[in-house]
Amino acid sequence: MKLDRLTRHAVRVLAALATLLAGCTTYVTTQVTAFSDWNGSDATRTYAFTRAPEQKNNLEQATYEQIVANELALHAFRQADARDARYLVALAWGMRSDTVTVAQPVYYYNPWPGPYYWGRPFDPWGPWGPFPPTYVNQSYPVYTHLLGIRITEHASGKEVYNVTARNTDEQSSLFAAMPFLARSAMSDFPLSNGAVRTVKIPLNGKEGAPNEVAAGGAAPPAPASGAKTVE
């Protein structure tokens, strides 16, 4: 009966711990580097996307442009016809895969119980266990996602803002990472020249986390910013 009560208590403790962990917020962490000559004097920020020859008629490019457009809208940018736009916005994006090897501990326990003493609780490990861990190398794939946003003045061709966002995780989908890259790249716009920031965005959909573009290409309404900048 005593063991049953202890078991029930342990189950309740584990259930409470699981509930607590479920409420924790997980963040996507992105490294952002910006170069800026932004004067901030313009009242109307009209822009149009521009593409390199290899980016023309590219559905993936168009999808990422819509995600970036959502973030530009949060900073008073408005899309216009290329002939009338004050700024031209160019995107560069990509993904690289790597393999990371980590030494993981492996524990081996003594299968034989220690001496049993009458009138004392049963000790499943005895005085000789558990054994010290051994370490085994395990390899994991990781993926680095990158987004570059370059803003130039249409009339002069002068570059006024160039920002790069980069994050690394086990997610192989660049599409899934792109809303976080775009939100991080435009966080605290405009950054000072040569600024390097770490931006954390909630992954659980709370605190204004980015929305993904639907499969059909229609963009969701621009959400309120949930980015947290770490100096």
The tens digit of pLDDT for each residue in 55-72 reads 889 999 999 999 999 999
Instruction: Report, as an integer, the average pLDDT of 75-86.
Output: 94
User: Does the residue 3 lie in any domain?
Assistant: no
We report the CATH number of the domain holding residue 69 as 3.30.160.670
What is the average pLDDT value for the chain, to the nearest integer? 77
Q: How confident is the model at residue 79 (pLDDT cuts 50, 70, 90)?
A: very high
User: Does the residue 14 lie in any domain?
Assistant: no
Distance CA 125, CA 113 (A): 5
Expressed as residue numbers, the domain containing 59 is 26-230
Residue 213 pLDDT > 70: no
User: Does the residue 112 lie in any domain?
Assistant: yes
What total of structural domains would you count in the chain?
A: 1
Residue 6's pLDDT is: 42
Residue 122 pLDDT > 80: no
